[in-house]
Homo-oligomer: A and B are copies of this chain.
Amino acid sequence: MTDTSREYAAALDADDPLASLRDAFVRDDPELIYLDGNSLGRLPKTTAERIASVVRDEWGADLIRSWSHWADVPYRVGDLIGETLLGAAGGQVIVSDSTTVNLYKLAVAALDARRGRNVIVTDDDNFPTDRYVLEGLAAQRGLELRVLHTDIDEGLDLGALREAVGPDTALVSLSHVAYRSGALLDLAAVTEIVHEAGALVLWDLCHSAGSVPVRLDASGADLAVGCTYKYLNGGPGSPAFLYVRKELQDLRQPIWGWFGQRDQFAMGPAYDPAPGIGRFLVGTPPITAIAAVEEGVRLLAEAGIGRLRAKGQALTGYLIDLAAVWLPDLALATPADPKRRGSHVALRHPEAWRMAQAMIADRVIPDYRTPDRLRLGPAPISTSFTEVWDGLDRLRTIVADRAYERFSSEPARVT
């Protein structure tokens, strides 16, 4: 029996060991309920000052001389992400480019390492940019892109994956947590299936990094990429990260740039890739933006990924329980088993688009995902149980009053 009282939410908050970390984030409008932390994380209070310091003291005052320490920044922040959130020992994660560019770089590296195999495997529930990158590579290289059909409420079926891979498979690329449903894949189990076929696996960690423990090293995963603007709170379009397992760091990525060059300032005549993870850098790293990422990740490190995971499961479980009681017309479109989902929840309804607009008008920020999903992402580090209660409470009023009917229906672009 779900206790739907607001007092119960307050009691959950009182027991929350991460509650005080909510104060580490800017919260201009105390009435705003933010349930889209898995799309763009909140602004940490220290980030504005950190950015100002990099801009004023490092760029403004020290100018070009700052490159003597800036050169380490992509490595240092990569290690911080890897060691605290991804279960990756040092020297395997670096901050660089966008998620999409990193996916491209690592997918090419993997395909080159498996020449003679002509199949790339992914699923139709993978994030669009992942599917497009793989589609492009398959077209450019004359390979087959094998797109598995996935139930978008439940996530990829491992039996179907096992059937789909074989001696023809070069690369399998999947999202660890599905962007719509939040379905969480078993990293080690998938990796084992892929490795049994002799292929390489490339993970998209965008929706898992910072919300679920990733355990890259322990799982045997080969390659991974992820973004820093969701749970890592790095800011809009902040630079992405990539992981290459130590044993695979002799792989070559295709964009040969001066920051991937051994002995960079010799500016020699031929490209000679740096040893280690540095060869996966390309151009000049965005220093101020990476510094902002470091601030966000420090907070997650302070929270601890274990406690973030526990709170994420509790928050999403609570949200699912309230929705079951208050919103019977909205179907759960996320695995009910907390071990099988990340930190966001999808609810299905034909009027999801208009409901999202009505929520925003009522200062509850959800996300909408095609075709008929309300996506609710209460970021564990910055969201309280009371906020989940208030958000769902406002939504149930919107649904009960049919207040969403005064909003326009789905925009033409998503029909």
Interface residues of A (CB under 8 A from B): 26, 28-29, 32, 34, 36, 39-40, 42-43, 47-48, 51-52, 55-56, 58-61, 63-67, 70, 97-101, 104, 124, 127-129, 131-133, 135-136, 140, 227, 229, 235-240, 254-261, 263-271, 282-289, 292, 360, 365, 367, 369-370, 413-414
- What 10 A-B pairs come out closest when comparing CB atoms? A98-B283, A136-B256, A100-B283, A100-B257, A43-B60, A129-B258, A237-B286, A236-B287, A132-B256, A132-B271
Given contacts A66-B236, A101-B255, A263-B413, 17 further A-B pairs with CB under 8 A are A28-B60, A29-B61, A34-B63, A40-B67, A59-B236, A99-B283, A99-B284, A104-B254, A132-B257, A132-B261, A132-B271, A133-B257, A135-B271, A136-B271, A237-B284, A237-B286, A266-B370
Q: Is the CB of A51 within 8 A of B43?
A: no
**Cα of A228 to Cα of B237 in the assembled complex, Å:** 17
Q: Is the CB of B365 within 8 A of A63?
A: yes
- In the bound complex, residues from chain B placing their C-beta under 8 Å from that of A56 are 26, 43, 48
Q: Is the CB of A140 within 8 A of B64?
A: no
- In the bound complex, residues from chain B placing their C-beta under 8 Å from that of A263 are 413
Q: Is the CB of B65 within 8 A of A43?
A: no
**Cα of A2 to Cα of B43 in the assembled complex, Å:** 56
Contact of A266 among B127, B239, B282, B414 (CB under 8 A): B414
**How far is the CB of A135 from the nearest CB of chain B, in Å?**
5
- In the bound complex, residues from chain B placing their C-beta under 8 Å from that of A99 are 283-284
Given A104-B255, A283-B99, A284-B229, A60:B48 Cβ within 8 A: yes
Contact of A284 among B48, B59, B227, B268 (CB under 8 A): B227
A-B contact pairs, 13 of them (CB 8 A): A26-B56, A34-B63, A39-B64, A42-B60, A64-B367, A101-B101, A104-B254, A131-B269, A132-B261, A135-B256, A135-B270, A237-B288, A288-B288
Interface centre among A42, A66, A284, A370 (most CB of B within 10 A): A284
**How far is the CB of A149 from the nearest CB of chain B, in Å?**
11
Given A64-B40, A97-B97, A132:B413 Cβ within 8 A: no
**Cα of A365 to Cα of B80 in the assembled complex, Å:** 33
Q: Is the CB of B255 within 8 A of A100?
A: yes
**How far is the CB of A226 from the nearest CB of chain B, in Å?**
12
- In the bound complex, residues from chain B placing their C-beta under 8 Å from that of A255 are 100-101, 104, 133, 136
Given A99-B283, A240-B283, A289-B289, A55:B63 Cβ within 8 A: no
Q: Is the CB of B28 within 8 A of A42?
A: no
**Cα of A67 to Cα of B383 in the assembled complex, Å:** 21
- In the bound complex, residues from chain B placing their C-beta under 8 Å from that of A32 are 63
Q: Is the CB of B42 within 8 A of A63?
A: yes
**Cα of A55 to Cα of B63 in the assembled complex, Å:** 22
Q: Is the CB of B258 within 8 A of A100?
A: yes
Q: Is the CB of B63 within 8 A of A283?
A: no
**How far is the CB of A256 from the nearest CB of chain B, in Å?**
4
- In the bound complex, residues from chain B placing their C-beta under 8 Å from that of A270 are 135
Q: Is the CB of A128 within 8 A of B267?
A: yes
Question: Which residue of B is nearest A47, CB measured?
Answer: B55
- In the bound complex, residues from chain B placing their C-beta under 8 Å from that of A261 are 128, 132
**Cα of A139 to Cα of B43 in the assembled complex, Å:** 44
Question: Which residue of B is nearest A411, CB measured?
Answer: B265
Question: Which residue of B is nearest A260, CB measured?
Answer: B132
- In the bound complex, residues from chain B placing their C-beta under 8 Å from that of A26 are 56, 60-61
**Cα of A216 to Cα of B367 in the assembled complex, Å:** 42
Q: Is the CB of A36 within 8 A of B63?
A: yes
**Cα of A229 to Cα of B63 in the assembled complex, Å:** 11
Question: Which residue of B is nearest A258, CB measured?
Answer: B129
